[in-house]
Amino acid sequence: MEEALLEYLRCPFCGSALEIEKVIHINTTRIIDGILRCMCREYPLISGILYMRDDEISKKVLMLLRKERLHAALYLILEGRMIKKAIIWANRFHIQPTFWRIIGLWNWKYWTYYLRYRFSAPSFIAAVALLPVIKEACDGYMLDLCAGVGHFSFAAAKHIPPTQIICVERRFTSLYFAREFFIPHAAAYIAWEAHQMLPFVDNFFKTIVCLDSFHYLDTKYLVSKEIERVLTYEGVVLLPHLHNQKMFNILPGSPLTVHDYQRLFSNFRFRMIPEETILKNLLEAQVLDITHNDNVDEVDAFTMIMSKTDRYFKQYSTHMLFSDAEELIVNPIYRQRKTKKGWQLKLKFPCRLYKVEFPLINKYFEKRLFISNEDINNTDTIYKLQTQFVLINVPPRFVQVKHVIKKR
């Protein structure tokens, strides 16, 4: 965690500022392991992740950190018997497993699929279409609220400095993966339950993103007020992939009606756009159009963009999304077969639930494709395959790939 950020953090229990109690490891300006304190309690900081949850684990980890027993503290705080062992083992023997491999050890199979194929999900791709808005607000910090393992922060860090990104997520283990695989240089990773007060000073963030998560939070009224409190007046809030209470969803959480989402954020101007419209505009025209509201009453998932100014509500080109990649791989949603003349690709869902959760894949993705050896050397073809999300950019240790396609 960047030391300079301490100034902007607040204890969510007593509201006082945080100070350094003990530093075990520091890397220039970045505290890796140590203990922070406020007026009412102490917080462990381990592997660069600030653990703000007030539970038994926190107390035990603090005891271990006081004795500088870092491996034991990390072992205790990580979730999942197999994952703990794999991480400690990899750290001890300096082995670098891929994310794909290690997430296979998670004991909820669908979560493994969700995370392995996150870059293929229409909900994710439609959120990526919003990156030009984030770039527009790049002169301040971005909060990735309920960040998961950091897929979206990885994509955002191509367009704003990673040191302006803060990931908040309830699961320490997810943040460990975010730091290890997706966004190694974020300003901070904070393990915290976002349905309580957010641990930041007022008017701090320029952008707040909460992707595929707001409908899972229980205290939506409180979270909406907290989002408003920690956002600057010129800031922008992006809630991509909101579930609609009126429509069926296989993993619904506790969604609200369109009207109730608007009521929660009534102090903001807003745009509500069906996720499918955003996806279609991105895939077919490489634009993001948030000039006007669409009717989202009858759509199962939509995006809400909010601000107190009209500055962000315009049309954007999304070409920037396809010009930054140094290395591209074939989207893992495609099974690939190498032939003498090139690659044969075939769309293949990882499981039935994934197919039910993301029906837009079947609607918008090519089912079968052939990429010839000549195509790989053709800049225009590569660009087109990127705009179709057949070729994607992933973090270096995301998956072991046989064929990395270098962009020229």
Please report, as a single letter, which amino acid is at residue 30. Answer: R
CB of 228 to ligand SAM, least distance (A): 18
Q: Which is nearer to ligand SAM, 276 or 357 (CB)?
A: 357
Contacts of 71 (CB under 8 A, 6+ apart): 88, 91, 92
Structure letter (DSSP) for residue 10: B
Q: Is residue 173 a contact partner of residue 151, using CB atoms and an 8 Å limit?
A: no
282 or 385, CB closer to ligand SAM? 282
Tokens read off for 393: 């950019």
**Interface with ligand SAM includes 234 (CB under 6 A)?**
no
**Cross-strand partners of 37:** 19, 42
Burial of residue 344 (number of CB atoms within 10 Å: 0-12, 13-18, 19+): middle
61 touches ligand SAM (CB under 6 A): no
Q: For residues 2 and 24, what is the distance between their CA atoms, to the nearest angstrom?
A: 15
Q: Interaction with ligand SAM in 151-210: which residues (CB under 6 A)?
A: 151-152, 169-171, 174, 193-195
* Structure-derived torsion over alpha carbons of residues 141, 185, 197, 310, reported in degrees to the nearest 10: 20
The number of residues making up the chain comes to 408
| Nearest distance in Å: CB 397, ligand SAM | 18
Distance of CA 153 to the CA centre of its chain: 5
CA dihedral 214, 219, 221, 224 (to 10 degrees): -40
- Give me the least distance between CB of 168 and ligand SAM, in Å please: 6
- Angle subtended at Cα 269 by Cα 141 and Cα 170, rounded to the nearest 5 degrees: 45
Residue 149 or 306: the one with the smaller Cβ distance to ligand SAM is 149
CB nearer ligand SAM, residue 301 or residue 345:
301
Q: Helices 56-66 and 70-77: crossing angle, nearest 10°?
A: 170
Q: List the structure tokens of 65.
A: 């950190």
Q: E strand or H helix at 37, and its extent?
A: strand 30-37
Question: Under DSSP, is residue 81 helix (H, G, I), strand (E, B) or coil?
Answer: helix
CB of 364 to ligand SAM, least distance (A): 19
- Phi then psi for residue 78, to 5 deg, are -70, 150
Shorter beta-carbon distance to ligand SAM: residue 216 or 313 = 216
Q: Residue from 117, 182, 216, 322 that binds ligand SAM (CB under 6 A)?
A: 216
Q: Name the minimum Å distance from CB 129 to ligand SAM.
A: 14
Q: Which of 38, 183, 217, 231 binds ligand SAM (CB under 6 A)?
A: 217
What single letter denotes the amino acid at residue 123?
A: S
| Alpha helices, H only, 178-266 | 220-230, 258-264
CB of 171 to ligand SAM, least distance (A): 5
Q: Whose CB is nearest to ligand SAM?
A: 148
Least Å from the CB of residue 398 to ligand SAM: 13
For 16, the 3-state DSSP assignment is: coil
Q: Is 215 in the site for ligand SAM (CB under 6 A)?
A: no
Contact string (CB under 6 A) for ligand SAM, positions 19-58, x = contact: ----------------------------------------
Smallest distance, Å, CB 213 to ligand SAM? Answer: 4
By CB under 6 A, residue 405 contacts ligand SAM: no
Quick check: 239 binds ligand SAM (CB under 6 A)? no
Return the number of the residue (116 or 151) whose C-beta is nearest ligand SAM. 151
Q: Which is nearer to ligand SAM, 220 or 371 (CB)?
A: 220
The binding track of 133-152 with respect to ligand SAM, each residue x by CB under 6 A or -, is: -------------xxx--xx
Nearer to ligand SAM, 180 or 212 (CB): 212
Q: Is 112 near ligand SAM (CB under 6 A)?
A: no
Give the residue with the Cβ less far from ligand SAM, 97 or 240: 240
Find out whether 144 and 214 touch, Cβ atoms under 8 Å.
no
Our CB check for ligand SAM shows the closer of 168 and 385 to be 168
Which of these segments, 44-52, 212-220, 224-232, 358-366, binds ligand SAM (CB under 6 A)?
Answer: 212-220
Q: Give me the sign of the Cα torsion angle 158, 278, 266, 169.
A: negative
Partners of residue 26 on adjacent β-strands: 31
Choose, by CB under 6 A, the member of 212, 226, 300, 357 that binds ligand SAM.
Answer: 212
Residue 62: exposed, middle, or buried by beta-carbon count in 10 A (0-12, 13-18, 19+)? buried
Cβ proximity to ligand SAM: between 110 and 383 the closer is 110
By CB under 6 A, name the binding residues for ligand SAM.
118, 146-148, 151-152, 169-171, 174, 193-195, 211-213, 216-217
